[in-house]
C-alpha cells in the first residue's frame, strides 16, 4: 500500500461526529492510518468516542452510531494523549479533511488543553484533488479510481481505507497530467507523488484557517476576512486595538484562528 514518496510519516484519518459544526460538535468515532516514511507496514488506530453531548438525528442517519453504542466508551479527554502520540509529527491527509476533520480535531485537542499545531505539517485533502480533477463523491471516487464499490461508506475506518486507495488511484491517473484552469491556462502536472506539491494543490493558500477568517493578500499581508476590520491588516489592528485581540480569544472562533492570532501577536511583541 505504501509506495508514496514520503520524507516524513503521513496519517490519513476520518471522523464521525455529532454534527457538522466544527466548533460546537464532537467526535463519536476516529480512525487513523499511519503510513511510515521508511516503508514499514501501516499502523491503524480506530475507536468510538463518548462525545458527552447529544448526537443530531441527521448525523445518526448518516453514520448509524447511536448513543447506546457510546455509553461505555472513553471520552476524547481519555484518548487525547494516545491520539496525539500516534500522530506524532506526521503530515495529515483525509477526505474533506482541510475543511472539517482537521479543524474538528484541533477543537477537541483545544478543549483538553492541548494545542495541536498544524502550521508545520502538510495537509493533503484527497477530496480537493478529486473535486478539482473529477468532481464527485467518495463512493464515486472509489468506483472511478479503484474499480470497486464502496459498500460500507460512513464507517470511519472503511472510509479512511477507501481514501488511501483513492489517493493511490489518483496518483496513477494524474501523475504527469497537465490541467487547464478556468481561464484555459495550463497548470503543469499539479498532481504528483510529492507531498509538498499536493499540499499546495489541495489547500486554498489564500486563507490561513479552515473557517476562512484570516486571508492572505497577494503581497503576503494577512488581513481579517470578517467583522468591522474586514480587509485590514491583522498585525496593524492587533498592535493598535488590544481589546479586539482579547475579544477574538474569548469568542466562538476556532482554536486554529486563535492559535494564528496568538502567533501574530507574538510577532508584534518581538518587534
Identify which of 14, 2, 27, 1 has the alpha carbon closest to the alpha carbon of residue 160. 14
Rounded mean pLDDT of 106-129? 95
Q: How many structural domains compose the chain?
A: 2
Do 28 and 153 share a domain, yes or no? Answer: yes
Within-domain flag for 207 = no
Q: Which of 179, 202, 225 is the last residue of a domain?
A: 202
With vertex at residue 237, the alpha carbon angle to CA 236 and CA 239, rounded to the nearest 5 degrees, is 65
Is 229 domain-assigned?
A: yes
Is 254 a member of any domain?
yes
Domain boundary among 171, 202, 233: 202
Q: Among the three residues 170, 202, 234, which one is the final residue of a domain in this structure?
A: 202
Among left, alpha and beta (phi > 0; psi -120 to 50; other), residue 147 is: left
Residue 184 lies in a domain: yes
Query: Does 60 map to a domain?
Result: yes
- Whether residues 29 and 158 share a domain: the answer is yes
Residues 177 and 233 in one domain: no
Write out pLDDT tens, residues 63-106: 999 999 999 999 999 999 999 999 999 999 999 999 999 999 99
For the chain, the maximum distance between any two Cα atoms, rounded to a whole number of angstroms, is 57
Examine the domain organization and report whether 259 and 129 are in the same domain: no
Report pLDDT for 78: 98
DSSP of 182-204:
TTS-EE-----S-HHHHHHHHS-
Q: Are residues 218 and 198 in the same domain?
A: no
Helices and strands, number each (H, E), in the chain: 11, 9
Q: Say if 208 falls within a structural domain.
A: no
Residue 209 lies in a domain: no
Residue 180: give the domain boundaries. 10-202
Single pTM value for the model: 0.75
Share the mean pLDDT of the chain: 93
On whether both 27 and 108 belong to a single domain, the answer is yes
| 258 and 185 in a common domain | no
CATH number at residue 84: 3.30.420.10
pLDDT above 70 (res 182)? no
For the ranges 16-25, 127-136, 163-172, the lowest mean pLDDT is seen at 127-136
Residue 4 belongs to a domain: no
- Residue 1: is its pLDDT beyond 70? no
Location of C-alpha cell 481514501:
163
Amino acid at each position: 500500500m505504501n509506495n508514496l514518496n514520503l520524507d516524513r510519516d503521513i496519517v490519513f484519518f476520518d471522523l464521525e461526529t455529532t454534527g457538522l459544526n466544527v466548533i460546537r460538535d464532537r467526535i463519536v468515532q476516529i480512525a487513523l492510518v499511519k503510513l511510515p516514511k521508511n516503508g514499514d507496514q501501516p499502523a491503524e488506530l480506530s475507536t468510538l468516542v463518548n462525545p458527552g453531548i447529544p448526537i443530531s438525528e441527521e448525523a445518526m442517519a448518516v453514520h448509524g452510531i447511536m448513543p447506546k453504542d457510546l455509553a461505555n466508551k472513553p471520552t476524547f479527554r481519555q484518548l487525547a494523549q494516545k491520539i496525539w502520540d500516534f500522530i506524532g509529527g506526521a503530515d495529515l491527509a483525509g477526505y474533506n479533511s482541510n475543511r472539517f476533520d482537521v479543524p474538528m480535531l484541533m477543537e477537541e485537542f483545544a478543549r483538553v488543553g492541548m494545542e495541536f499545531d498544524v502550521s508545520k505539517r502538510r495537509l493533503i485533502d484527497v477530496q480537493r484533488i478529486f473535486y478539482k480533477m473529477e468532481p464527485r463523491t467518495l463512493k464515486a471516487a472509489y468506483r472511478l479510481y479503484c474499480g470497486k464499490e464502496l459498500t460500507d461508506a460512513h464507517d470511519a475506518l472503511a472510509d479512511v481505507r477507501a481514501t488511501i486507495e483513492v489517493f493511490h488511484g489518483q496518483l496513477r491517473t494524474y501523475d504527469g497530467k497537465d490541467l487547464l484552469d478556468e481561464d484555459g491556462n495550463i497548470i503543469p502536472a499539479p498532481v504528483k507523488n510529492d507531498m509538498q506539491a499536493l499540499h499546495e494543490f489541495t489547500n486554498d493558500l489564500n486563507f490561513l484557517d479552515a473557517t476562512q477568517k484570516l486571508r492572505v493578500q497577494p503581497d503576503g499581508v494577512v488581513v481579517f476576512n470578517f467583522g468591522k476590520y474586514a480587509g485590514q491588516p491583522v498585525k496593524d489592528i492587533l498592535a493598535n486595538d488590544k481589546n479586539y485581540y482579547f475579544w477574538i480569544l474569548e469568542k466562538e472562533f476556532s482554536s486554529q484562528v486563535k492559535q494564528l492570532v496568538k502567533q501574530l501577536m507574538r510577532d508584534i511583541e518581538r518587534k
